[in-house]
Each structure stands twice: as structure tokens, then as C-alpha cells.
Chain A
Amino acid sequence: DAGVIQSPRHEVTEMGQEVTLRCKPISGHNSLFWYRQTMMRGLELLIYFNNNVPIDDSGMPEDRFSAKMPNASFSTLKIQPSEPRDSAVYFCASSFRAGPTTNEKLFFGSGTQLSVL
């Protein structure tokens, strides 16, 4: 398996523009996570899907952020409109969560480095 695939690797945009980040999880995984990493705040969970359904979106900072998972093999994180403070590395991760007592490992993509000017 190619692992978790994210695109683009780098994104530079101007304030106010729409940004769409993409993620393809590992085949067979049923849980998908979007994280944001900054020097100041570390790694923060934005949203978590299980079986394509959003379970916890309490980490989504504002209404400008939205995420979708239309099927088991694709997810998007959209920022509209983007602001300079959104600049960060955005990671997608996936896992197989078999039930309430699963001790699953997370598999991360290589991330998208977002710069909003």
C-alpha cells in the first residue's frame, strides 16, 4: 500500500482565497483524521471521521473550515476564505478502528504545507 496520500505537498495562496486539501487514506481503514501542526500549538486534531461520518469536529477552529468524506477513499479539508493565521502544516491520518477496545495505530500522510500571504 502507498500509505496515506495527501495533496498538494505545498500550497501558497493569498488571503481571502479558497484552499482545498485532499487526502486518500489507506485502503481498508475506516477512520480518518485531519490534524494541524504549528510551532506554537503543536499537533491539533481538527476533525475525525469514522466510516465516512464526522464523529468529532470540535477542533475545527471556525466556520471558515469545512471537511467532507464522500467515500471511504477520499476526504477534503476546505478553508474559505483563508487567512494568514491558517498557515501551518495540515496532516491527514487514517487507522482501522475495529470497536470500542481497539488499540489501533495511526498512519500519517506527509502533510500539506500551507502558506497564506
Chain B
Amino acid sequence: KQEVTQIPAALSVPEGENLVLNCSFTDSAIYNLQWFRQDPGKGLTSLLLIQSSQREQTSGRLNASLDKSSGRSTLYIAASQPGDSATYLCAVRRSGNYGQNFVFGPGTRLSVLP
């Protein structure tokens, strides 16, 4: 059974710092991996999707990497801003079959202090 963990559970940094969020999964046979952002009282918003054949994806100040063999993904946030404060979740999908869906990690709660 696929298990997804995220470290740290919470992180507090001053504005302007670069930071890395970690995601680990136990079964390396994944189809793709997504990073989501969740603001308090809101649903999840997809940030980046990495296919199993890719090693990284970039969107603005965000860069996500994937190392399938080690069962790890990282989300790098450059020049953090207070508006980046949210909970970040990663989710892995085991295969492309219709019946296979995402398994979510518990999330990392990020606070960027002005």
C-alpha cells in the first residue's frame, strides 16, 4: 500500500528566504506526482504535476523535482513571500488506469513572516 509522508510538518521562515519542502513515498512505481496548495478554509489548488518520466517541473518561483528510485520529491520555493503561507500537500498516482487515484501526504504548513 502506497504511503506518502511529508517533512517537516510545519515550517516558519522570514520573508525572502529560499526553502525546500519534502515528500516521500514508499512505492516507487508511480505514474505522476502533484503538488497542491491549501489555504485555510479553502480547497486544494494544483501547483505542479510531474510525470514519472520527468525529473522536474517549474512554474514561476516554484520548482518541483522527482527522484522515483529513492521515492522522493521536493518543492523548492524561491524568494518566499508572506502570500506563500499555506499548507502544501503532495500526492502520488500509482498508474494511469481509471481505477488508480491519488494518495495524499499529510502536508507541510508553511508560514512566511514579513
Interface size, B (range): 20 to 34
Return chain A residues, CB-CB under 8 Å to B51.
103
Interface size, A (range): 20 to 34
Summed over the interface, the residue pairs from A and B with CB atoms below 8 Å come to a total of 53
Complex CA–CA separation, A97 to B89 (angstroms) = 21
A14 at the interface (CB under 8 A from B): no
Return chain A residues, CB-CB under 8 Å to B34.
105-106
Within 8 A of A (CB), among B25-66: 31-32, 34, 36, 41-46, 49, 51
B98 touches A50 (CB 8 A): yes
Complex CA–CA separation, A93 to B104 (angstroms) = 14
Segment at the B interface, from A41-49, A65-73, A76-84: A41-49
Return chain B residues, CB-CB under 8 Å to A50.
98
Return chain A residues, CB-CB under 8 Å to B101.
33, 45, 48, 56
Residues of A that sit less than 8 Å from B by CB = 4, 33, 42-43, 45, 48, 50, 55-56, 91, 93, 97, 99-103, 105-111
Beyond A99-B96, A101-B96, A109-B43, 9 additional contacts (C-beta under 8 Å) are: A43-B44, A45-B101, A48-B101, A56-B101, A97-B98, A102-B96, A103-B49, A108-B45, A110-B43
